[in-house]
Amino acid sequence: MSVAPDRLAAVTEEFPVLRRTVDGRPIVYLDSAATSQTPQVVIDAIVDYYTNHRGSVHRGVYDLITEATELYEGARERIAAWLNWEAEETIFTANATMSLNLVAQAWGHANLGPGDLVVLTEMEHHSNVVPWQQVCAQRGAEIAYIAVTDTGELDPGSVGALLDREPKVVAFTHVSNVLGTINPAAELARQAHAAGAVVVVDGTQAVPQIPVDLAVIDADFYAWTGHKVYGPTGVGVLHGRRALLEEMPPFHSGGHMISQVFTASSTWSELPGKFEAGTAPIAEAIGLGAAVDFVTGIGIDAIRAHEFALTAELLERLTDIDGVTVHGGVDPAARGALVSFGIEGAHPHDIGEILGRDGVCVRTGHHCAQPLMRRFGWGSTTRASFGVHNGPADIDRLIEGIHTVQRVLDL
């Protein structure tokens, strides 16, 4: 099913920033892969906390704290249930980057040593590369990369060859933020587990746009961030396997994550508090819970169908324009709701600037994926990505803008 036209129009109206105009024309927001816009219901949930329930969680028994704690933990429960995981194994962090750093430093530092192998992929976001580089440098472990094919998929031969080396960790993105490639997360996790590896998945691009069932994927750690799922900035999520989380040392230390503090030693709180040191991102978690309610109210299957249709249309129309190159595979069924492209003779930053003059918002740059850029010989790309509020008229504006770029730059 897809989002019906009247429902789509209603959804679009729920995003206050989309009422803005540039030179009298509505904003066309095609950058949800970087940061999604925020619906009013999420804003209202955050304002309600600050207005009516402001208090620290887990730190008292008076009404404000009880109410705040119920809102905070209620959000955790709904978020965990949405992805079919346990609330106690669902940790709030600052963002997906923090979630991945937590795994690399807390689990990796305790378990990696000289001669151990960490396997990543050439399509990883820097947040799933640099933390592993850091811990491997500290512990004397090695990193190797699964190769990406010319069509933007993980090379099966490279996967097999690296798994034959019995890596300690296999970490990969569920959906590429540059190519849009949807990786077979459950199958990769199965193969990696068979090789004896711990599996870490960056689900940042997947969670907002495709159905994700963590019990089916069966990764050991799965990370994502709130601000790409119509939620606020400042809150991320790490879902982890209980046995591993209980064995891991804390990542941050201080208030809330302790059980007992003595002058010479301390003991830790039960999960998930063990990994939530300090005052929690209370308003942010409550807002993320509201964002998950917003998504479930529409239906992730409906969102996927709607954005799939838009992606398919954009791919078809881009391939019809002389001088435009689409990066990655052109099968919309195998990619998420984003398309990276180039215009012959135009630098992506010029493309973005000219499109922006007309209110068309796209991302330009290396997208925090420089190893992938080097693999393909690209300095940067232009990326258009969809949210539930987009429609065919937004594609019309983008195509119109691309022709304007070619005209302005005399291409």
pLDDT of residue 7: 63
User: Three-state SS across the chain?
Assistant: CCCCHHHHHHHHHCCHHHHCEECCEECEECECCCCCCCCHHHHHHHHHHHHHCCCCCCCCCCHHHHHHHHHHHHHHHHHHHHCCCCHHHEEEECCHHHHHHHHHHHHHHHHCCCCCEEEEECCCCHHHCHHHHHHHHHHCCEEEEECECCCCCECHHHHHHHHCCCCCEEEEECECCCCCEECCHHHHHHHHHHCCCEEEEECCCCCCCCCCCHHHHCCCEEEEEHHHCCCCCCCEEEEECHHHHHHCCCCCCCCCCEEEECCCCEEECCCCHHHCCCCCCHHHHHHHHHHHHHHHHHCHHHHHHHHHHHHHHHHHHHHCCCCEEEECCCCHHHECCEEEEEECCCCHHHHHHHHHHCCEECEEECCCCHHHHHHHCCCCEEEEECCCCCCHHHHHHHHHHHHHHHHHCCC
Confidence band (pLDDT; 50, 70, 90) for 41? Answer: very high
**CA-to-CA distance for 336 and 332, rounded, in angstroms?**
7
pLDDT of residue 1: 43
**CA-to-CA distance for 195 and 119, rounded, in angstroms?**
12
Mean pLDDT across 352-360: 97
**pTM reported for the whole predicted model:** 0.97
Mean pLDDT across 130-159: 98
Write out pLDDT tens, residues 164-208: 999 999 999 999 999 999 999 999 999 999 999 999 999 999 999
The domain spans of the chain are 5-30+299-408, 44-296
Confidence band (pLDDT; 50, 70, 90) for 51? Answer: very high
State which CATH number among 3.90.79.10, 3.40.50.720, 3.90.1150.10, 3.40.50.970 fits the domain covering 5-30+299-408. 3.90.1150.10
The pair of three-digit structure tokens given for residue 40, joined into one six-digit string = 């009013």
Residue appearing with tokens 């046995």: 243
Confidence band (pLDDT; 50, 70, 90) for 330? Answer: confident
Write out pLDDT tens, residues 255-297: 889 999 999 999 999 999 999 999 999 999 999 999 999 999 9
Write out pLDDT tens, residues 227-263: 999 999 999 999 999 999 999 999 999 988 999 999 9
pLDDT surpassing 80 at residue 4: no
**CA-to-CA distance for 146 and 168, rounded, in angstroms?**
15
Determine which one of 11, 141, 343, 368 is catalytic. 368
pLDDT surpassing 60 at residue 393: yes
State which CATH number among 3.40.50.300, 3.30.1360.120, 3.40.640.10, 1.10.10.10 fits the domain covering 44-296. 3.40.640.10
The pair of three-digit structure tokens given for residue 247, joined into one six-digit string = 């064995």
Catalytic annotation present for 368: yes
Confidence band (pLDDT; 50, 70, 90) for 8? Answer: low
pLDDT surpassing 90 at residue 210: yes
